Amino acid sequence: MSAVVILSVHIIMYLKYVWCFVTRVFRSYFYNGIKGYPEGYSSNPSLNPWYAYYEILASNYEPWLIFFLIGLYRIAKDFKTYADDRRKLLYSCCAGVSCRFALFQAAKVKQYHYIMPLYIPITIIAASALGNFRESCA
C-alpha cells in the first residue's frame, strides 16, 4: 500500500513538472543519502551524539525497559531449552533489534522516529520476559 501511494505521488509530480521534479528530487535523495541532511538542519554533531538512541530508548520505553533487559538475559540463558518455534521467534527478534540498532547507530543523522521499527521486537522480548516471570511465579 505504501508503494502504491508513494509511486502515485511521484508519477503525478513527474507528469506535472517533468524534469524539474526529477532533477530536484533525485539530487536531494542522493545529496541527503551521501552527506546527510543539508547544512544547518541537523548537521551539527552536538545535535546527534553517539548515545542519542540510548536516550531515546530509555525515555520512550522507560517502564518496560527492565523487562526487555531481563528478556535478553533469559533468551541468552535459556535459548537451548525453548521450543523450536519460540526459539526462532526470539532469535529473529534479537537479530532484528541488534542489526537495525547497529545500522541506525552508524547513520550520521539520528532522529527519534528512525528507531520506531525496533519497538515491535523489543516488545516481544519484553513480553517473553513477563511470560517467563509469570510461569516461574505460578
Query: From CA 119, how far away is CA 94, in angstroms rounded?
Result: 12
Domain boundaries, the chain: 1-35, 43-137
Each residue's pLDDT expressed in tens, for the chain with a length of 138 residues: 778 888 888 888 888 888 887 787 777 776 666 665 555 445 554 456 778 888 888 887 877 888 889 988 888 888 788 788 888 888 888 998 999 888 888 877 777 777 888 888 988 888 888 887 767 775
Query: From CA 6, how far away is CA 12, in angstroms rounded?
Result: 10
Q: What is the largest CA-CA distance in the chain?
A: 67
Burial of 71 (0-12, 13-18, 19+ CB in 10 A): buried
